[in-house]
A and B are shown apart, each in its own frame.
Chain A
């Protein structure tokens, strides 16, 4: 079973609790199992017509065992179930920590809803395995051993008859195991699909509304829902059979004891007291037997869930710290791309997105990248903070291959303002402090000012403490972009990457920001993507990207002289501006 080793690890971590809980459980069960034996003694007394005092003794013992067993049972259940909850907590934390290590490429190939379903539902199923599952796993065999010992002490042949019945029960059970496992796996898979659909629908609600998509979306959901219903009924059919079967088999065992044991009593081979004790033992066994079905489905569910979790845990963080990271030299650091090629694996068809890209950004210089949609501009910027790793070639920061640096140092040196602004549902200030957790409120206000957001934030009811809603939904597109820019500036990085990060901002604001920026930027190395030529042309070097290749490079003047793709793009924008004059 995949993930079994991990499960043992968690159990091991809490072995003291499990041991203590287990010991209490053993004590509880011991006390419980001795009760029928005393009942037998009492009946014996009754049969023989002995004095009442001896009977009172048995009654007292039973009462004491009941109270003691009750207390121990409470303790053992609390300890074991809570240990299960501790493991649940640990797994969820570990999963989160693991997810934090996985690269962007992983998230591009996974659905958020599916990951969430695993982090919530599957972990819960594992928890059931380690709480109630563990308890029954210890208890059931213990019950059986005790019952066997006491029964054998009374009557071997009757015990063998009972044993034969229980064997039958175990056989029936084996048949169900696999069917339940498969059925519940299908139910869980379908649940995941359904969750993913809901997640996507909710995230895209504005589109659903704008395009009047409620009906087709509901129709699709309805399909998934019906499929889920059908799969759940498949499971219910199998699971529903188990309990009645267990009940019937248990009853059948009682019947065997009545008939065979009755005959034994009638033929004088055993006493009525033994018969009563047998019935009592079977009664004690009734619960674990009835719960067997539940326990098996619980174990199967837990196993399937652990496998699904292991699928995530097994994903090696393909982008991780090197074994012995090199420290960045304490000097001005330029950036260098050397014959870099890149292809998405899994996402897309593996075709190269970037081919043989080489360029250099000396410290403090600005390089602009232009190119048509899908030419690979954003992908190129993703490679620098190692959101993806190059397929071949190398990227160097301050002369050091970025793969030799610790991720923390590399990313700490980079301020990245992405094209798609992503904010968290906390306050504006907290979002900005992503860049620098120790930043003072004054510094936050300063970068807001640089990003030209200060005046707008001021009119918000709670100023910089205004919560921005999920993904910053309470802000306009431009505000979000400027907030992500401010976040990047607050980090005060040496290398700033602006990936068309002001596309939703009008050109004058963009220009104002970039000019106000000059103080901030003055000795920073900067990579700039924009579709606005007025912004581009001021860069020290301009790279023109086409189909993942650099087709032209140079500064504005030289590119204009060269009269190639760049000049054409530039003239086109200029032309459209001139058209306005007419």
Chain B
């Protein structure tokens, strides 16, 4: 349960400019507001910078004993204040508006991108890590906008403006009070390099804490059952401590820089007094000028002091952006090279949104099939010398070839791990084959539009997953237009009416996260009902009835017959009873097909299937089967 992963390694490369450009792509649609906000910055600063001059004028008026000028200068000062505050508010508000809009866009882009990532991505990346990308990292980008980090350039202009004003007021005094600047800039640069590394480390480590939590929370019952609390706590503590140590190191850098800048501010005042005092004594400059200088020094050091904060925020944001874009750049499932043959879209299964993607290369693909259902000559599903491995060098399917004719019912049997479930995953293109071709409707699955491919297939997976909501929303599955009577009919067909009626609230009964307030059997029953609602052309059942007890299964069996009629079916089951009505049986063993044929053919052949069947019969007859006989059946 430790969440280390080579992917989280720290690489010090700086892509800041490239990243900023990519961020710009998200700001671009809101650029009018963005520019308006930027435009308000100099306005805000102008009214700010004019204030020390007005203070100087006020002091000079006091020095000259001119009460009227003091009064009018004060009025001007007040006007400058109000203008500054107004510009400040609108500038911030508009910046946040841009931030919220473009981050909302970014979140949507991320979310819909993640929807299209291949399953293999989710095999490699814990949910917690992907979550961090989609929520925490995006939040960090928001902080960047909120902290005014985008104003760094404007800060630079501000610094130049202040220095210019100071020089124009009094060159030598300006030089003296700015004497510390070079040292400060040097310190900032050293800090920048150090900080970059620690920030990366920090974010990597918090992601690990997240990943661990994301696993430990749903797995808490297991931790408790095995009395693992202390050990799990220790593991969590290690990750948590690593994160703390990294961030504490960066805190020290940050504090050092902050205090250096602050100290420099006071030191400059000392220098100003030491040098400028003489000038005042000599009557060259007024006390007003001295006060104005001190005001400008203060204003000069504010952006410098905040620089460390802003820089921290920008660094965090850039690291976050890098990760976010890395996720956005992860290649998605290839959506398919051509639109689906229109004929396969039966009215019941084709929702309006089934837009073909990648039609640009349609010319390279065979023309769409004619208006009939799948052309019989092509076969509904075809595996042609398919090789596949989840991990390189560990093939799960080794040259599998078989064919399911339209309307045919094929049962796939074999020991666990023999590759049965993998065939389904390849059919729905959760994964792509290493070599060979999987065809659906005579067409390479890679040539299909992914969505229409999957809409043609009704899959009941091993682990039934329900979404939180209620029973009805799970049966409608995101399509609110499904009429109520179709749901009722489906419930009737699956013999699930009684079960749903008994639930508190019936169809409106709440379903919690992953459907964990329902038993595995109840979830499976609902998955079956879902099939009746979806009414797919090709039906794929993966051990769908394995957890449903015999009683329920017996009821469902009749319904299965109904839904399987005139439909291409692939059934993976462990019990011979489930496949007795199959047209053809495919026997898998360790990634290869050992036998194929109808029940009668296989029985006559007297091979693996025959032996399996004999064993099952013996079992039903009440005899205990010697274990070596079972081994002999699967491992001849």
Contacts and interface: CB of A to CB of B under 8 A. Distances in A.
A151 interface: no
Contact of A214 (B112, B146, B222, B546): B112
A531 B430 contact: no
A45, A115, A212, A434, most chain B CB atoms within 10 A: A212
Interface string A359-389: 0000000000011111000100000010100
Nearest to A210: B459
Given A39-B294, A217-B115, A276-B291, 12 more contacts: A74-B259, A74-B260, A104-B224, A212-B451, A263-B67, A266-B65, A378-B520, A418-B222, A504-B416, A512-B631, A576-B554, A578-B620
Interface string A487-517: 1000100000000100111111101100110
Nearest to A41: B273
A283 B97 CA distance: 31
Contact of A73 (B96, B263, B612, B627): B263
Interface in A89-116: 89, 92-93, 96-97, 99-104, 107-109, 111-113, 115-116
Nearest to B256: A74
Contacts of A328: none
A470 interface: yes
B337 to A, nearest CB: 18
B269 interface: yes
Contacts of A385: 224-225
Interface stretch (A154-162, A175-183, A253-261, A441-449): A253-261
Interface string A161-197: 0000000000000000000000000000001001110
Given A469-B124, A470-B127, A347 B543 contact: no
B218, B264, B576, most chain A CB atoms within 10 A: B218
Contact of A515 (B216, B520, B627): B627
A411 B227 contact: yes
B612 A272 contact: no
B236 A93 contact: yes
Nearest to B462: A477
B359 interface: no
Contacts of B125: 470
A553 interface: no
B514 A200 contact: yes
A266 B274 contact: no
Contacts, number: 547
B417 A478 contact: yes
Contacts of A476: 416-417, 421, 462
Contacts of B273: 39, 42, 55, 58-59, 62
Nearest to B396: A476
Contacts of A248: 81-82, 84-85
Given A77-B259, A456-B417, A275 B525 contact: no
Nearest to B257: A74
Interface in B310-358: 353
Interface stretch (B275-283, B374-382, B435-443): B275-283
Nearest to A211: B477
A85 B202 CA distance: 12
B365 interface: no
B74 A258 contact: yes
Chain B interface main SS type: helix
A78 interface: yes
Contact of A70 (B2, B3, B142, B262): B262
Given A195-B135, A258-B77, A477-B543, A351 B514 contact: no
Interface stretch (B10-18, B56-64, B483-491, B563-571): B56-64
Contacts of A89: 240-241, 243-244
B255 interface: yes
Interface string A190-219: 010011101111111111111111111111
A75 B259 CA distance: 9
B42 interface: no
A435 B93 contact: no
B97 A32 contact: no
A511 B295 contact: no
B287 A280 contact: no
Nearest to B267: A66
Given A374-B521, A503-B547, A434 B222 contact: yes
A209 B428 contact: yes
Contact of B519 (A65, A113, A200, A373): A373
Report, as a range, how many residues of chain B touch the other chain.
35 or more
Interface string A226-255: 101100110011001101110110011011
A90 B465 CA distance: 35
Nearest to B81: A251
Given A373-B552, A506-B415, A426 B1 contact: yes
B78 interface: yes
Interface string B493-536: 00000010010100000001110110111101100001000100
A576 B561 CA distance: 14
Contacts of B135: 117, 191, 194-195, 198
20 contacts: A45-B277, A55-B273, A66-B266, A71-B263, A211-B530, A215-B478, A229-B103, A236-B96, A240-B93, A262-B62, A266-B62, A276-B290, A348-B504, A373-B521, A411-B224, A424-B215, A482-B416, A507-B619, A577-B619, A580-B617
B117 to A, nearest CB: 8
Given A78-B251, A411-B226, A96 B216 contact: yes
Given A66-B263, A97-B233, A248-B82, A59 B574 contact: no
A579 interface: yes
B207 to A, nearest CB: 10
A263 B112 CA distance: 66
Interface stretch (A1-9, A300-308, A391-399, A566-574): A566-574
Given A434-B228, A470-B126, A55 B269 contact: no
Contacts of A351: 504
B298 interface: yes
A22 interface: no
B350 to A, nearest CB: 11
Given A85-B251, A580-B599, A116 B128 contact: yes
A408 interface: yes
Contact of B112 (A86, A218, A349): A218
A82 interface: yes
A330 interface: no
A558 B230 CA distance: 47
Contacts of B259: 69-74, 77
Contacts of B63: 272
